[in-house]
Amino acid sequence: MNPLLIAVLLFQTPFIQSSNSLYMVCRSDGTHTVTERSSGEVIQETTPEEFVMFNVDLTRNRIRSHKESKWNDIQVKGNSIVQEYKGVKQGIQANMYGEVPLNLPGPFLMNASFTNDQVKYQARSEGECREIDSTTWNEGVEMFNNARSTS
């Protein structure tokens, strides 16, 4: 095979870790809005800076955050790992879309809305993710769980 063709293929092929697990931390700036549905009045609006850690299992096409142990299904689309959910649970309609990079570092995007009879909660965050190792992931999950159990 032509050496030039091999070089082009290597540089054009996305890098996937051989372990098929990917760990990352994402920092984002967001806007969270709570609106009364009947009047359209904004009840509360915040603009938080957030940090979220993710563990991605590329073999089983699933993702989880440090905030919950439940795995969620994903799709790999180009250089993005995409999680989408639409559904109704306990009278709350949820629409969520999240995107993290397959190749790190890279952009983070999250849009979510939760609606019941009285209010609509909307969240939008954008930022950047960077790679971490499994030890950092495990330590972060433990710190989060310890903080949650003491509050």
C-alpha torsion 140→144→149→151, nearest 10: 140
Alpha helices in the chain (DSSP H): 3-12, 134-150
What is the pLDDT, as a whole number, of residue 12?
36
Cβ atoms of residues 11 and 43 within 8 Å: no
Distances (CA, A) of 9 to 16, 88, 150: 14, 44, 51
User: In whole angstroms, what is the distance from residue 34 CA to residue 43 CA?
Assistant: 6
Cβ atoms of residues 137 and 55 within 8 Å: yes
What is the pLDDT, as a whole number, of residue 16?
38
Strands (E), 66-151: 72-73, 75-77, 80-89, 92-101, 106-115, 119-131
What is the pLDDT, as a whole number, of residue 9?
31
- What's the whole-model pTM score? 0.79
What is the pLDDT, as a whole number, of residue 4?
33
Residue 75: how many CB atoms within 10 A of its CB? Answer: 10
Is the torsion defined by CA of 92, 76, 102, 72 positive or negative?
A: positive
Residue 110 is encoded by which pair of tokens? 């999250």
Q: Per-residue pLDDT for the chain (151 aa), expressed as one digit of tens each?
A: 433 333 333 333 343 344 689 999 999 999 999 999 999 999 999 999 999 999 999 999 999 999 988 999 999 999 999 999 999 999 999 999 999 999 999 999 999 999 999 999 999 999 999 999 999 999 999 998 888 777 6
The residue type at 29: D
